[in-house]
A and B are shown apart, each in its own frame.
Chain A
C-alpha cells in the first residue's frame, strides 16, 4: 500500500469500479458488506455509512426537496415498505457508527439517537405521528443514499415510491409507475446481451437475509450531486464547456454509484439504494494505478456505451490529459484536499 498519511480519506474510501482493464455492462452483483481493497484503501465494509460529506449532503438534500417536492414520491400501499426502509437504514448506520448512533428497541418503541446530527427520536413502527415525519422522508434525512422502492407483482417489479435528489441524468417522477424492465429500456446493448433480464430474474428471487450491491459509473463536469433530468439546464452546459476548455479537464469527476439491492423483510418490497461518490480527475491522478486503469478503460470503451454515459465527447480530452496532465496538475496537492464535493 502507498504511504497512508498522504491519502485523504475520501480518496482512500473511494469505490474505484474497474477491477479489469475493459468495461462492459454485466450483471455485476455481489454480496453486500464485503470489504474491497483498492490501490488507495478500502470500501464496502458497511452497507450504509456516513462519510465526511454527511452533514453537507443531507443539508443539500433538504434544500433540493424543499425547492422541488416531486423528488419524493410516497404511496399509501408502500407505507409498510417505507417503515422497513427506515428501520433498515437506521440499523445499518448504527452498525457502522456505534459510538455516534444507536437504534434501540424496547417493546414496540424504537429509540434512535444520532449524535452527528444531534437527533433523538422515540417512535413506533407504523405511527408517523410518533416519528414526527413521514418514514421515507425521515430515512432520507439520515442517510446519504437515494432511495427507490419497488413492488413485486405479477412477475414484475414496479417502482412505486422513492426519494431521489442526486440522480445522474434520470428522474424519479418520470420513472414512478414503470417496471424495472421499462426503466432500463434506454440502456444500450444490455438487452441484447441479457444483462437486464438476468438482473430481473435475480431481483425477483432476492431474499431478505442476503443484501447485494453493484457499482455503476459515469463522468460529470463538476462536483454537483443533483444532475437530475429536471435540472439539466443547470449542469448540462458545464459538461459542454469541458469539451473545449483543457483547463477544465482536471475538474471533471469520475462519478461512481454504489447501489444496494435489498429485499425488505416485512413488506417484501425491493429497496434500491444509490450512494454517489465523486472524485476529480486531479484527485484520481494521485493514485497512479487508478489513472492508468481509467485510461485503459476509457480507451477501450465501446462507442454505444460511451454515448449512453455521455462520455463519448470527453474521451479524447480526458485521455490526453491523463497522459500529459495539463496546467491543472500543478495544483494536485491542493486538489486532493478540496476534492470533497462542494454542496452547491
Chain B
C-alpha cells in the first residue's frame, strides 16, 4: 500500500491560470528517487489523499514537480493552492501505473487539457531515448499549462487542436495510419478519453494498444476505518484508514504469521466468524471468498463496521 509517508518541502510555487505548479524538494537533503515516465505521487491534504502526475525530469530529479488544477468541489486542490515556499507536505514515493512500452515502434500521445501532466515525462524520455513519437494536444483556445515546454520538446511532432471536431478529424487520420507496434497513450477528461477509445475501436485498434491514465489500479486505496472483535482473546482492535488489519493487530501485540504483506503468499489467513470481509487479496479462490469465513489480514478489510475474527 503506497501511503504518503515522506516529508517534502515546497521549494517553488508558480501559477498558470487556475493551475499551480509546485516543486517539492527533500527537506533533509537526501536525493529523491528516479521514477518511471507517467508516474504520480500521492499527497496527503487535510481533506483527502490526492494523486498528481510528476511533470519534471524523471532521472535523478532534484525535486518532484506537480501541477494542481484548482477544483471548487475538492478541498485538497484548494489547500495545495494556498501553500507557500517552505511548507512541508506528506508525499508517497512515485507510483507507476502508466509506463511507456519499451519495445513500441512508435508512441502516439493524445492529450486533453490538464491531462498533459503525465505525458511530459513520457515525451522527455522519448526525446532523450531517441524514440519515435508524436503528440496530439487538445485544449481550449488561449494559454494552457505546460504548453510552452511541450512545444519546445516536441517541435514539429506536436499537433494542437482547440475543438472537438478538429481533434476527432486529426485522430481519425493519425489512428488510421499507424504501423503495427504503435502504442497510444491517452490522458484527458473522461468524456474525451471515452470518445477517443470509441473512435479507435471503430478503426480496428486492439484495446491493449491504447493505454490511459486513470490514477487507479496500482496502489490499494487506504480504505475506511473498521473494528475487529477477537473471539479467543476477547479483545477489540480498531483499524484506521490507511492501516492494514495485519498492522493494527501487530500494534496491538497480536502476532499473525505473514510473509508478503501483498495478499499473494497465503500466510496471514485469519478465520472470520461474523461480519462481511472486503477481499482485496490475490490468494483466496472465488468460492473461499464467497463463503466469507476467512480473509487475508495484510490487505483485506471490512464491508461493514465490524468483523469478528477467530483469534
Interface residues, chain A, with chain B CB atoms under 8 Å away: 26-31, 77-81, 84, 105, 125-126, 151-155, 158, 160, 194, 198-199, 201-202, 205, 207-209, 212, 263-269
- Shortest CB distance A18–B (Å): 14
Once the chains bind, are A80 and B129 in contact (CB under 8 Å)? yes
Once the chains bind, are B218 and A198 in contact (CB under 8 Å)? no
Question: In whole angstroms, what is the CA distance A33 to B85 when docked?
Answer: 36
Once the chains bind, are A208 and B33 in contact (CB under 8 Å)? yes
Contacts A105-B60, A201-B282, A266-B36; A31 near B261 (Cβ below 8 A): yes
Candidates B59, B103, B217, B266; contact of A27 at CB < 8 Å: B266
**Would you list 18 pairs from A and B whose C-beta atoms are within 8 A, ordered by A residue?**
A27-B265, A28-B265, A30-B259, A78-B102, A84-B34, A125-B59, A125-B60, A151-B102, A151-B103, A158-B103, A198-B282, A199-B264, A202-B264, A205-B218, A266-B35, A266-B37, A266-B125, A268-B100
Give the secondary structure class of B's interface.
Answer: loop
CB-CB contacts below 8 Å: B195-220 with A: 208-209, 217-219
Question: In whole angstroms, what is the CA distance A84 to B33 when docked?
Answer: 12
Once the chains bind, are B260 and A29 in contact (CB under 8 Å)? yes
- Shortest CB distance B189–A (Å): 25
Identify the closest chain B residue to A126 (Cβ): B128
- Shortest CB distance B269–A (Å): 12
Interface residues, chain B, with chain A CB atoms under 8 Å away: 2, 31, 33-37, 58-60, 93-96, 99-104, 125, 128-129, 183, 208-209, 217-219, 259-262, 264-266, 282-283, 285
- Shortest CB distance A84–B (Å): 8
8 A-B pairs with the lowest CB-CB distances in the bound complex, closest first: A268-B99, A268-B36, A209-B93, A265-B34, A154-B208, A27-B264, A202-B264, A77-B103
Once the chains bind, are B99 and A209 in contact (CB under 8 Å)? no
Chain A residues contacting B217 (CB-CB under 8 Å) are 205
- Shortest CB distance A110–B (Å): 10
Contacts A265-B33, A266-B36; A201 near B264 (Cβ below 8 A): yes
Task: Select the residue from A152, A153, A202 with max chain B CB neighbours within 10 A.
Answer: A153
Identify the closest chain A residue to B284 (Cβ): A194
Once the chains bind, are A152 and B99 in contact (CB under 8 Å)? yes
Once the chains bind, are A266 and B58 in contact (CB under 8 Å)? yes
